[in-house]
Amino acid sequence: MFPYRQMLELYDEERSLRNIAAMTRHSRQKVTEVIRLAEKRGLKCPLDEEMTDSWIEDFLYPEKKLEASGRQMIDFDYLHKELAKPHVTLTLLHEEYVRKSEEQEKIPYAYRTFTEHYHNFAQKYKATLRIKRKPGELLEVDWAGSTLFIIDPDTGEKVKVYVFVATLPCSLLSYVEGSLSMDLASWIKLHQHTFEYMGGSTQIIVPDNLKTGVTKHTRKELVLNKTYEEMVRHYHSVVMPARVRSPKDYSEVFIIPNI
């Protein structure tokens, strides 16, 4: 089997590309290709035990297993990137894939097989992500996605519904609730519902959209709306802006209520 794991581990030890090529008996060009692909996909050392040479090959070159089928190849990186955009689904991407196949006179995969191949790739991609926080330490909250609507049964009027999402990044446990308003009272209520659902609060709350509960936000200072601050104090938490990865990054203080 090709020594993918050995190459990545030697590179992590800061060995030169020439040295790695000599030790693995492969060309420097191939070593460079493997390392660049691993960096692009976020595959870093230390590697888990399950990440064998075969696992790594499937992750770096997912198209290899599909080549022998004679069907239109699937661009997994493109799918992963497009799915991060609003309103993009695997159904739409499969339709686009089928059109491309027809233009190139190739046979496309059926939708079910298409999604199975992508989900296998996505599971491996997820396995390479390193979560630096402890379970239950941090909660990410935001008004997410596009505004939805419900129909008033009496008047037929379209009423806006804003979607609140709260997620524990380590376990990906999420709480989602629709709200008819994005005001402060709703923001507080939705936090309370989240903590009730999850059975407790977290040490840190990270709002991606700070406008609802923040009075002032500068590089040196973060001032919470008084009501939001009282809620945060009540749950013995602190608030961290989404762009700050660690409290140390905000050294002089961004923090919040003095608990």
Question: What is the structure's pLDDT at 85?
Answer: 81
Q: Of the candidates 192, 201, 193, which has an alpha carbon nearest to the alpha carbon of residue 235?
A: 201
CA 184 centroid distance within chain: 27
Question: What is the structure's pLDDT at 69?
Answer: 67
Residue pLDDT, tens place only, 164-207:
999 988 788 899 999 999 998 999 999 999 999 999 999 889 88
Mean pLDDT of the chain: 82
Question: What is the structure's pLDDT at 135?
Answer: 78
DSSP string, 53-85: HHHHHHHH-TTHHHHTTTBPP--HHHHHHHTTS
Parallel, antiparallel, or unpaired for β 204-207 and 158-167? unpaired
Beta carbons of 5 and 20 less than 8 angstroms apart:
no
Question: What is the structure's pLDDT at 252?
Answer: 31
* Residue 140 in this model has a pLDDT that exceeds 60: yes
Q: Using 50, 70 and 90 to split pLDDT, how confident is the model at 254?
A: very low
Question: What is the structure's pLDDT at 248?
Answer: 43
Domain locations along the chain:
4-127, 138-250
**How much of the chain is in helix, strand and coil states, percent to nearest 5?**
40, 15, 40
* Residue 220 in this model has a pLDDT that exceeds 70: no
| Token reading at 156 | 């037929």
Question: What is the structure's pLDDT at 137?
Answer: 86
Q: Average pLDDT, stretch 155-169?
A: 91
Look at domain 138-250 and name its CATH class: alpha beta
Q: Average pLDDT, stretch 17-42?
A: 92
Question: What is the structure's pLDDT at 249?
Answer: 41
Lowest-confidence segment of 113-127, 155-169, 200-214, 233-247 by average pLDDT: 233-247
Please indicate, yes or no, whether the overall pTM of this predicted structure exceeds 0.75: no
Facing residues of 164 across strands?
143, 177
